[in-house]
């Protein structure tokens, strides 16, 4: 049976950097998700999490973060491109869970100072997502020239991102529904 309860799609802001432009992108995505019916969301800022740095993986699980990942039907990761890769702290945070992610959808938003919209960080995240059991969608958020995307009040300057984000979210929601149906109805 197809369930009608809202989807839960948290957004993870994937850098703790002071002055990060990814924060505007994450807030924009949160606003766009919130506008849509049938989806609940929350913004998880990795700066506010406090995982130990002296160990890694499930040994340092945080019960609240794990419960949020377990409840999630899908994730949106907002990730800046740092030397073509992802921030190490994001990987440290994601590595603390595994079963919580399995057969759940993930949409990736790359953020870069350059003109390629974080495509290289997205490419580098794909094998990590797969190993975590997450299912990537084939539409990404590509936020180029991050310093000029938003005004000082955090308002988006280029309306073209609204249409692209709509396509991204439609695909993510479809995949989240399909996977939730599968998790709840199809024996493994």
Ligand X SMILES: Cc1cc2nc3c(=O)[nH]c(=O)nc-3n(C[C@H](O)[C@H](O)[C@H](O)COP(=O)(O)O)c2cc1C
The residue ranges that bind ligand X (CB under 6 A) are: 15, 17, 20-22, 80-84, 111-114, 146-147
What is the closest distance, in whole angstroms, from the C-beta atom of residue 84 to ligand X in the complex?
5
Q: Is the dihedral of CA 188, 5, 141, 92 positive or negative?
A: negative
What is the closest distance, in whole angstroms, from the C-beta atom of residue 13 to ligand X in the complex?
9
What is the closest distance, in whole angstroms, from the C-beta atom of residue 143 to ligand X in the complex?
8
Nearer Cβ to ligand X (84/170): 84
Nearer Cβ to ligand X (80/141): 80
Strands (E), 54-116: 74-80, 104-111
Nearer Cβ to ligand X (82/139): 82
What is the Cα–Cα distance from 125 to 86, expressed in whole angstroms?
7
What stretches of 5-159 show up as alpha helix (H) in DSSP?
22-35, 63-71, 88-94, 119-132
What is the closest distance, in whole angstroms, from the C-beta atom of residue 11 to ligand X in the complex?
14
Question: Nearest to residue 101, comparing CAs of 134, 76, 56?
Answer: 134
Nearer Cβ to ligand X (8/116): 116
């Amino acid at each position: 049976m197809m369930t009608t309860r809202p989807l839960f799609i948290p957004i993870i802001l994937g850098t703790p950097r002071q002055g990060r432009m990814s924060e505007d992108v994450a807030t924009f995505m949160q606003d766009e998700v919130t506008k849509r019916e049938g989806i609940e969301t929350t913004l998880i800022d990795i700066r506010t999490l406090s995982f130990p740095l002296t160990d890694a993986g499930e040994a340092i699980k945080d019960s609240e973060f794990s419960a949020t990942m377990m409840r999630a039907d899908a994730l949106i990761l907002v990730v800046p491109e740092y030397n073509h890769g992802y921030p190490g702290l994001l990987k440290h945070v994601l590595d603390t869970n595994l079963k919580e992610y399995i057969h759940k959808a993930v949409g990736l938003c790359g953020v870069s100072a350059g003109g390629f919209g974080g495509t290289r960080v997205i490419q580098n995240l794909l094998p990590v997502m797969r190993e975590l059991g997450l299912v990537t969608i084939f539409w990404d958020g590509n936020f180029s020239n991050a310093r000029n995307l938003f005004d000082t009040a955090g308002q988006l300057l280029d309306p073209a991102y609204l249409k692209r984000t709509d396509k991204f979210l439609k695909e993510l929601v479809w995949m989240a529904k399909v996977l939730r149906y599968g998790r709840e109805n199809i024996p493994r």
